[in-house]
Copies of this chain bind each other. A is one copy, B any other.
Amino acid sequence: MKIDKLCGERFKERPSDCVIDSHALMVRGGYMKNVANGIYSSYMPLRRITRKIENIIREEMDKIDGQEVQFPVVMPASLWSESGRYESIGSEMARFTDRNGSPMVLGMTHEEAAVQLVREYANSYTKYPFMIYQIQTKFRDEGRPRAGLIRVREFTMKDAYSFHTSQEDLERYYDICYDAYNRIFARCGVPEVITVKSDSGMMGGSVSHEYMLLTPIGEDSIAICKECDYRANMEAAESIIENSISGETQPLQEVYTPGIHTIEDICSFLNTPLEESCKAVVYQKNMTDEIVVIFIRGDLDVNETKLTNHLGEAVHPAAITEESGLFPGFIGPVGMDREKFTVLFDSSLKNTHNLSCGANKPEYHYKGLCISRDVGDVEYIDLAKIKEGGICPKCGRHSISISRGIEVGNIFQLGTKYTKSMSMQYLDSEGNLQYPIMGCYGIGVGRLAASVCEAHHDDYGPIWPMAIAPWQVELCCLRSDDAECKATADRLYDEFNAENVEVLYDDRNIRPGAMFSDADLIGCPVRVVVSPRNLKEGVCEVVTRDKEISEKITSDGVIEFVQKIIADRLKANK
């Protein structure tokens, strides 16, 4: 490919709407173009990258006996009603009515389609286990698409679904898939991707893992233990608080606290630490607007995912009205109407006394709260966000650190959620009807491409790993008006092509600076520079984009030298 006809503009200025580097570089480098909010077209360099990623994924899925299939983008709403998700998923799902008046949806994931495809076929235990996968376009109407290819509305995803006759068999295959995922990320040049335990959210399963690329610009927060191998998504991480009662238990005492509304203010007014307070956080259930009051230790925050999972439905921060009988800023557990509201107590309040809290009347707080004495028997549940420096749920040390990461893949043990709701059954060896157990396994192709860029770039552009680089080599002819220079570069171009080395050839009559800027933005791992000055010595320059190699090679030896770099790097997943 010659660069002079390569579609896409390359430019120097960072676009003002690009918050993260990978987005800025992929716009500046002519990889992608915005079509609508969160919807992009890909130019050739990006399409070559995503095709290579797709092929790596395909090879690894085939290796673990995956059967490539294809589900449709457009599905009838009735299929999603079978699983209940047509109703339970909100505005993230794009819906339309077809010309015959049938409600249709755009696929954001394909559990329903997977079950629909195999439920008649897989009617006997002898047909299990099996795994089907596809690489297909999906649409999720995100409220806030952002960060370029990291969070988009339309994306290409590899989604795989496995079917099993026992939990043990699912776990066996889950482990195989776990390893295949590690190979995929390693081969794509990001072996630094880690796995974390995650909440399975709307997928409805139990055990699940996310594959995370740690980066400060990541959208997910991950709790990582510095002492053991514990790693979990913040949403799923158990919060462990060890309280021990010390000192004398005080009586409950009302305090006049005019104008004091926050837990921080009351603690500073009383001159007590935040840990000795009981904070109220108020939500409303999305469906009914019913009020949910959570009491939690003053220094902690509510983990909304845990709350949603506990309630079994989604919530939003409450809009507290006068009629509710609640006084914002003064809400406390004593005398709280537990018939009228859903009232929950976080585990962080267990084994405490002498807390400050709201007194459920304007301008008053309590001090000396002891929940067992003043409220009675309550159930404590884990609703808190894990904290930096918190206790590791696995090794028990105060060794939790919070990092940020991009989720580049996930694997779920789904159980029988979809097979039960969609009536997929098989006859076991004893002739009894059973529901198969499912696993599902996803990787976002475009997001992975952007994540690799995020992990491997400098100020001038991406530094693509060999296995997914748009081209393996960029050949720069610095003086196409110099006959010998041009002839040598042309010859190398032909030879690279003859050897099936993927080469992008820049023989434009432009300044070297402009040529190198473009080459940096396209980020081919190897650059071969042909210039009159070097040709006087009979050599060409071969440099790698990551600056590890920079050598002058006699022009006859260039092809072989470059082929060795390519082979070495492919082998090293680099």
Using a CB–CB cutoff of 8 Å, the interface residues on chain A facing chain B are 1, 4-9, 30, 33, 35-37, 39-44, 46-48, 50-51, 65, 67-76, 79, 91-92, 94-96, 98-100, 102, 104, 106, 113, 116-118, 120-122, 126-127, 130, 132, 134, 136-137, 139, 141, 143, 153-154, 156
Question: Are the CB atoms of B94 and A96 closer together than 8 Å?
Answer: yes
Residues of B within 8 A of A51 (CB): 68
Chain B residues near A43 (CB-CB < 8 A): 67, 69, 117
Of A40, A96, A134, the most chain B CB neighbours within 10 A belong to: A96
Residues in chain B near residue A132, CB distance under 8 A = 7, 44
Q: With A41-B71, A68-B48, A106-B74 known to touch, is A79 a contact of B7 (CB < 8 Å)?
A: no
Which of B70, B99, B153 contacts A74 (CB under 8 A)?
Answer: B153
Residues A120 and B5 in contact in the complex (CB < 8 Å), given A94-B74, A104-B36: no
A506–B130 Cα gap in the complex (Å)? 16
A67-B39 contact, Cβ under 8 Å, with A8-B121, A122-B7: no
Q: From A34, which residue of chain B is reached at the shortest CB distance? A: B116
Q: Is the CB of A116 within 8 A of B36?
A: no
Contacts of A143 in B (CB 8 A): 99
Q: How far apart are the CA atoms of A134 and B141 in the complex, in Å? A: 23
> Which B-chain residue is minimally distant from A114 (CB atoms)?
B41
Are B154 and A74 in contact (CB-based, < 8 A)? yes
A–B pairs, 20, beta carbons within 8 Å: A5-B65, A5-B127, A6-B67, A7-B121, A7-B132, A35-B76, A35-B113, A36-B79, A37-B100, A42-B69, A44-B69, A44-B132, A47-B134, A50-B70, A73-B73, A73-B154, A74-B106, A74-B139, A98-B153, A106-B106
Q: How far is the CB of A145 from chain B (nearest CB, A)?
A: 11
Closest to A48 in B: B68
A35 and B79 within 8 A (CB): yes
CB distance from A415 to the nearest CB of B (A): 21
Are B73 and A116 neighbours in the complex by a CB distance under 8 Å?
A: no
Task: Assess whether B118 is in contact with A7, with CB atoms less than 8 Å apart.
Answer: yes
Q: How far is the CA of A47 from the CA of B65 in the complex (A)?
A: 15
Cβ contacts under 8 Å, A156 to chain B: 70
Query: CA of A40 to CA of B69 in the docked complex: distance in angstroms?
Result: 11
Please give the distance in Å from A148's CB to the nearest CB on chain B: 14
Is B41 in contact with A72, judged by CB distance below 8 angstroms?
A: yes
CA distance A130 to B3 in the complex (A): 12
* A70 x B42 contact (CB < 8 A): yes
A36-B72, A137-B137 are known; give 16 further A-B pairs, CB within 8 A: A9-B121, A30-B121, A37-B100, A39-B76, A44-B67, A44-B68, A44-B69, A44-B132, A46-B70, A47-B69, A47-B70, A48-B68, A72-B137, A72-B154, A74-B139, A99-B143
In chain B, what residue has the closest Cβ to A142? B99
Cα A65 to Cα B2 with chains together (Å) = 10
Residue of B nearest to A35 (CB): B72
Contact between chains at B141 and A99 (CB < 8 Å): yes
- Which residues on the B side are within 8 Å of A44 (C-beta)? 67-69, 132
